[in-house]
Structure 1
Amino acid sequence: MSRWVSLSGLDRLTILLTATAAFFVIMGMSQVFSDDDWVRHLERSPARERPHLGTTLRDLGHVRLPDLSWVTIYRQTLTLVPLWTLMVMLVVVSARQNRHDPTRLVRRFAALQTVLFALRAITLLGTRMPPADQSCVPAISIHHPIHSALRMIAHADLACTDMIFSGHMTTAVSLWAVISQDCANWETRLLGTVLLVICSLLLIATRLHYTVDVIAGFLISILVAVLYALAWRIVRFQYPNMAKSRTMPLYARVLHWIEGSDIPTRSSSRPPVASKQQ
């Protein structure tokens, strides 16, 4: 355990991002199995009961907001603009708020995303919903799930049953929650909130998700972020430092490891400066 504890903040970030990427691929594979099962369900259904591939649920968000599905391949990029802006904001805020450990907030975000990706993988396997995009036609190969998952992640193929709660929304909310919690600058928090609202509206207007997907993504992500913040506050109160890490429960050690409470500050590690001789 001491070997893992002694890792620098950047090394810990690398490990967390690797775990996040792994669960991202697992979530993509769940999407592949979900789309394949949905297509097989349509094929097995009687002709009279078989819904058309373009069948969608009625959604008031789609009715009220302008239809931007005509943007076709660029709509994914359109929704990613506020998302990547929030990502850049998180990196900047993390570096400014914690100069002795500039990756701490990014590590927290990676931990939240790993949990959310695991939850999405479970929901994708549990329930199939018709796609919000009427033109969506599954282009997957169940025989090559990893390759198909990577193509979905790269947006080479459009995921059809990617519903229940939005992955784009969970990412945006996690970024916004981490930024809002640690940033004292109200202008930055306001900008993050505006970007979050824009992202949610674009997800509905481009028909990438139903309104309920966006709302569920917001609520679940907020719940995970609040539970993490509450757990970390309790751990800091009960176990203020890593001096007695062997007596800590595993969850407390994991939270201390993510937050980097044991990483020394630069001021404490900097050698004393010799005074100049007159």
Structure 2
Amino acid sequence: MVLFWCVKLWKRICAETTTEINLLADNWKYILGGLIFQYIHGLAARGVHYLHRPGPILQDVGFFLLPELGQDKAYISETLFTTVFLSFVVWTFHPFILKSKKIYTVLVWCRVLAFLVASQFLRIITFYSTQLPGPNYHCREGSKLARLPHPQSLFEVLLINFPRGITHGCGDLIFSSHMIFTLVFVLTYQKYGTKRCIKQLGWLIAVVLSLLIIASRKHYTVDVVVAWYV
């Protein structure tokens, strides 16, 4: 019985792999373009950090309503976001193993990356248009990371100090990148997913993550609100 199930699963994986390879052959340019833009977005976020000037934290209704979690609890929102990210990635590959509503992994990622690129393009325009003093702890006056010294070479800029340059950026505020990813993932599952309870859970997590980001002082409330309607 187990052997029969394994053989059946193997045949399904092989058949799905063949289909996805054919789709990838037709759509690889879109996938590659989307992935390259992720680097461009990271490069833009790194660039605006050089322009960032720390200052007094702006008055914010979210900061007034939500108690500050503190620097030692900043990991909570990151952990939740990472869980959402990894869960979505795993779900997009589930057709290789499970029979359900038919989706194609390559096509789903083409659409996801297209929405991410459009949102990130708008995000780059907004955070370069107006640089706000970052509310995050490492972006405040007195922090060594709040101001970046002028780069010594172009190579230093292109490396974007990965991964620290991604997790400890300043100035790329309007609007929240975490919420872009989360909402695109939730909307994608809303359209292609089959479990109603997971759809509801996805929206609940998006709301909770929004509140955690504000409570962690990683973004102003406007950064999160704009991400919801963009």
Query: TM-score, normalised to structure 2's length?
Result: 0.73
Query: TM-score, normalised to structure 1's length?
Result: 0.62
Classify 1:193/1:76 alpha carbon distance in 2 versus 1 (closer, same or farther; 3 Å): closer
Q: Which residue of 2 aligns with 1:119?
A: 122
Taking the aligned partners of 2:87 and 2:173, their CA distance within structure 1 comes to: 23
Classify 1:149/1:83 alpha carbon distance in 2 versus 1 (closer, same or farther; 3 Å): farther
Kindly provide the CA deviation profile for residues 197-246 of structure 1, in whole angstroms up to 9, marking residues without a partner as x: 122112111111111100101110xxxxxxxxxxxxxxxxxxxxxxxxxx
Structure number with greater CO (CA < 8 Å, separation at least 6) is: 2
Q: Which residue of 1 aligns with 2:52?
A: 38
Kindly provide the CA deviation profile for residues 115-167 of structure 1, in whole angstroms up to 9, marking residues without a partner as x: 12222222222211110224421346544221226345652xx1111211111
Say if 2:34 is the partner of 1:25. Answer: no
Kindly provide the CA deviation profile for residues 92-128 of structure 1, in whole angstroms up to 9, marking residues without a partner as x: 57763225x3433232112111212222222222211
Q: Which residue of 2 aligns with 1:201?
A: 211
Q: Percentage identity across aligned positions?
A: 22
**Among candidates 171, 190, 200, match of residue 161 of structure 1:** 171
Q: Aligned Cα RMSD in Å? A: 2.9
Classify 1:54/1:126 alpha carbon distance in 2 versus 1 (closer, same or farther; 3 Å): closer
Taking the aligned partners of 2:221 and 2:164, their CA distance within structure 1 comes to: 22
Taking the aligned partners of 1:60 and 1:38, their CA distance within structure 2 comes to: 23
Taking the aligned partners of 2:164 and 2:32, their CA distance within structure 1 comes to: 19
Taking the aligned partners of 1:153 and 1:86, their CA distance within structure 2 comes to: 25
Q: Kindly report structure 1 stretches of 4+ aligned residues shifted beyond 6 Å.
A: none
- Unmatched runs of 5 consecutive residues or more in structure 2: 1-20, 140-145
Q: Which has the larger radius of gyration?
A: 1
Classify 1:38/1:77 alpha carbon distance in 2 versus 1 (closer, same or farther; 3 Å): closer
Aligned residues: 199
Q: Verify the 8 A CA contact 2:57 2:135 in the aligned structure 1.
A: yes
